[in-house]
Structure 1
Amino acid sequence: MTNQENPAVIDPGQGPALDLAGKHIVLGLSGGIACYKSAELCRALIKAGATVQVVMTEAAEQFITPVTMQALSGRPVYTSQWDSREPNSMAHINLSRESDAILVAPMSADFMAKLLHGRADDLLSLMCLARPIDKVPLLVAPAMNREMYAHPATQRNFVQLEADGARVLGVGNGFQACGETGDGRMLEPEQLLEDVIAFFTPKTLAGQRVLVTAGPTYEAIDPVRGITNLSSGKMGFAIARAAREAGADVTLVAGPVGLPTPRGVTRIDVKSAENMLQAVTGSAQAATVFIATAAVADWRPSAPSTQKIKKDGSGQTPQLAFTENADILATVAQSAAALAGKLFCVGFAAESHDLLENAQAKRLRKNVPLLVGNIGPDTFGLDDNALLLVDERGSTELPRASKLLLARRLVQEIAGRMAARPALGQKAKAS
């Protein structure tokens, strides 16, 4: 079935970027209360551009109806290996061959045990067994009680399942339907969507360790007041997500923002510029790429008051003295790893005017190979941006788009430069 035949598929000119455009996913539901999340997951996959074929076990039908999943997917739901709609009576073959991936969400402990032993007594398990392993990947989202999840047999099964080529997407921690709290919850639909998108993303940064800074810093004046800026951190968080999608091991050093941590990213929360410098210098030694997206305060009050500074009615304003903060990007760019060519540094410049001139000057002043400029007042707090990439060869404009799309473009630019570095080094040596 083409996208045009499926009324649930969003037109490319509407809504968010279609990250899964052209992908056909079989969404399998095994028995578990987490089936209620599968309805939202189905919607999320379709909104991302995928077509979705739902296959349900008999146990899954105890928790959610095929009618619901058919309405959401825009396709008839398959529940039996004896489905008469298939002319050759081979739904397990036909459905698996048409798919780009099989995603089982939820995957119960019982269904996982079936997969491990090659049992195929229903359509979904039969299809997982009959799929061409080298062409149709199997992704699974476990969902079970915390004691079932922690049981040695279950943990052994996870190891073997991954050894057999499946991708286990992990579990969440929290309150469970049984009233207990712990590991074993199925991940939320948005988390699973991130994982599926990342799975299909080319791993151009595989093996790289990327360090990203994001958000503002906060410099205290007294216990209740401080100096900060309007940076939301959205661009840096998008870059961290895009780098992880591209296969990198990502550490995100975040100033005071309220954004959720991207899937698979290690996060270090900081407050002041001094906090951020300490976190960055501690992590940069293991990094191969440093992307300084954070809007770091240039100055801090020299002697913050330990008590709230109060008005006394005299009209006199408090006298504040300032100390210049260390330049985090310049410090890292002058580190031994950067100077030896083992750390690729990317700077950001949020300007209010003369973007090209200021970005070029900042790149030279910071001594970094790539500087990314934008007009701060035009992007702070927004979900979109426009970027200017500046290097020794000149400048390249990335037109206004969502920050996530721009982050992915930037990551590919960085990956291309990283891939070219060995060749450039060999060329220089040969000459």
Structure 2
Amino acid sequence: MKIILCITGSIAATESIKLARELRRQNFEVKAFMSDAATQIIHPNSMEFATGQNVVLDLTGQIEHVKYSQADLILVAPATANVITKFTYKISDNPINSLLITAHGHNTPILFVPSMHDSMFKSISDNINKIKSESDYNKLNFVNPRIEEGKAKFPKITDIVLESKRLISLNKNIAESNKNEDFINERDDEISNIKSKKVLITLGGTYEAIDPIRGISNKSSGKMGLELAKEAYSRGLDVKIIAGIVDVDIPKCLDVTYVESSEEMNKKTKELVNEYDIFIATAAVSDFAPINKKDSKISSSINLSLEFKKTEKIIKQIKQINPNIFLVGFKAEYNISNDQMIDLAKKQMKEVGTDLVVANDVSIENCGFGSDNNQVLLIDNDILELPVCSKSEIAEIIFDKLEKRFLN
């Protein structure tokens, strides 16, 4: 897939080199256009190195604004007030503006990443809203900047990549379907089967308070749940996260509600789950909580014994609340065989109604809690044993499996 990266004259252009490199790591082909002002901030050779391709600085007899106007995505990052305003009124006075106007005429998706002083960002809000109002099937969109120190700053690169992948995904099926009118109804069915699905994901650990400053938790980082949320979002699904205690940076583009205890997580899950089509329970919810939480700090000079109670198993109630939901459960065991894990997963499927179980042995070195990798079994009607791989790869495999399930 090809992304045309347009760099304009914001100081945030220095971040475009990193962005281009990350897009290539995500297997995108990247071609850069640079404005004259952008070349005063970074040298075109830097973008040529980052993209592996010549940079377009001027329009020639190759009519570059037409040649590259039907890419999978036109990404304007950074986007200045100047380029946004000129696109609003379709002013074509340089290669980037000419490309944007031509691409818009072809219904190519365009994603703007505004980066400027906050006062300028506020001043062009009407222009941004006008551009959004022209959008058909998410053809025109914006990544919200970080508002800090009186500036609308360049967002995190992970946010930009996620939004880019999502916009491409939302438009991919439509573009393919429009090639042949006979496929219009088939396209609508396909979109209704997966692209319109709402996904609720719990992630991270929970914290059970003993007193105002002490409590018990677990080693769950939230990495697996976050990779699943990012994968779902990048495919165009509507994603909601309920996050407990996490050790990950959740992108701003994701809708997240934070909770702390197992009671809070279970309560929020019950409130929301009836609104969703898919529930993925990656959170490591505490199995036990102190019976008597102290309202004041327990003295460190005494010997302390604690009595615990079992917490509610929310996963057992999901199908009772929403019988039609597709339920994905995670099962973490310690130092057991694959056969034992499969038996426990099938038991959960029978007792809870789980449609897919992701099981793993957390005793395996450099896998599971806190690691970027894992080794899992995917258990439904079939059993798929995956080798050690990254959690992002596991998330992709899981959603490939879900897509096939919803399309059948």
TM-score of the superposition, structure 2-length normalised? 0.85
Residue of structure 2 equivalent to 1:408: 396
In the TM superposition, what are the counterparts of 1:134-213 in structure 2 within 5 Å?
134=106, 136-151=108-123, 153-163=126-136, 166-175=139-148, 180-181=150-151, 184-201=152-169, 205-213=194-202
- Give the Cα–Cα distance (whole angstroms) in 1 for the partners of residues 104 and 258 of structure 2: 44
How far has the Cα of 1:328 moved from its partner?
Answer: 0.8
Matched, 1:228 2:237: no
Check conservation: 1:218, 1:273, Cα contact below 8 A: yes
- Give the Cα–Cα distance (whole angstroms) in 2 for the partners of residues 323 and 188 of structure 1: 42
AA of the residue aligned to 1:192: I
AA of the residue aligned to 2:358: V
Residue of structure 2 equivalent to 1:27: 5
Rate the CA distance shift 1:395–1:91 in 2: closer, same or farther, 3 A: closer
- Give the Cα–Cα distance (whole angstroms) in 2 for the partners of residues 394 and 51 of structure 1: 36
Check conservation: 1:333, 1:367, Cα contact below 8 A: yes
For residue 124 of structure 1, the aligned residue among 81, 96, 99 is: 96
AA of the residue aligned to 2:389: A
- Give the Cα–Cα distance (whole angstroms) in 2 for the partners of residues 118 and 48 of structure 1: 32
AA of the residue aligned to 1:185: K
How far has the Cα of 1:398 moved from its partner?
Answer: 2.9
How far has the Cα of 1:281 moved from its partner?
Answer: 0.8
For the residue of structure 2 that corresponds to 1:399, the secondary structure is coil
How far has the Cα of 1:240 moved from its partner?
Answer: 1.2
AA of the residue aligned to 1:241: K
Rate the CA distance shift 1:394–1:37 in 2: closer, same or farther, 3 A: closer
User: 1:154-190: per-residue Cα shift (whole Å, max 9, x none)?
Assistant: 24433245359743232223235xxx25xx3332323
- Give the Cα–Cα distance (whole angstroms) in 2 for the partners of residues 157 and 63 of structure 1: 29
AA of the residue aligned to 1:410: I
Structure 1 unaligned regions, length at least 5 = 1-22, 83-87, 421-431
Residue of structure 2 equivalent to 1:349: 331
Rate the CA distance shift 1:211–1:54 in 2: closer, same or farther, 3 A: same
Residue of structure 1 equivalent to 2:262: 273
For the residue of structure 2 that corresponds to 1:377, the secondary structure is coil
Check conservation: 1:242, 1:407, Cα contact below 8 A: yes
- Give the Cα–Cα distance (whole angstroms) in 2 for the partners of residues 372 and 164 of structure 1: 34
For the residue of structure 2 that corresponds to 1:334, the secondary structure is helix
How far has the Cα of 1:373 moved from its partner?
Answer: 1.1
**Larger Cα Rg: Structure 1 or Structure 2?**
1
Matched, 1:91 2:80: no
| CA-atom RMSD in angstroms | 2.4
How far has the Cα of 1:233 moved from its partner?
Answer: 1.2
In the TM superposition, what are the counterparts of 1:282-361 in structure 2 within 5 Å?
282-312=271-301, 317-335=303-321, 337-338=322-323, 341=324, 343-352=325-334, 353=336, 354-361=340-347
Check conservation: 2:131, 2:140, Cα contact below 8 A: no
Check conservation: 2:376, 2:385, Cα contact below 8 A: yes
For the residue of structure 1 that corresponds to 2:405, the secondary structure is helix
For residue 239 of structure 2, the aligned residue among 235, 250, 255 is: 250
AA of the residue aligned to 2:22: A
User: 1:42-68: per-residue Cα shift (whole Å, max 9, x none)?
Assistant: 222223233322211122223222233
Matched, 1:105 2:77: yes
Check conservation: 1:237, 1:262, Cα contact below 8 A: no
Structure 2 unaligned regions, length at least 5 = 173-190
How far has the Cα of 1:149 moved from its partner?
Answer: 2.3
- Give the Cα–Cα distance (whole angstroms) in 2 for the partners of residues 24 and 416 of structure 1: 25
- Give the Cα–Cα distance (whole angstroms) in 1 for the partners of residues 255 and 72 of structure 2: 29
Higher helix share: 2
Matched, 1:238 2:227: yes
AA of the residue aligned to 1:167: L
Percentage of pairs with the same residue: 28
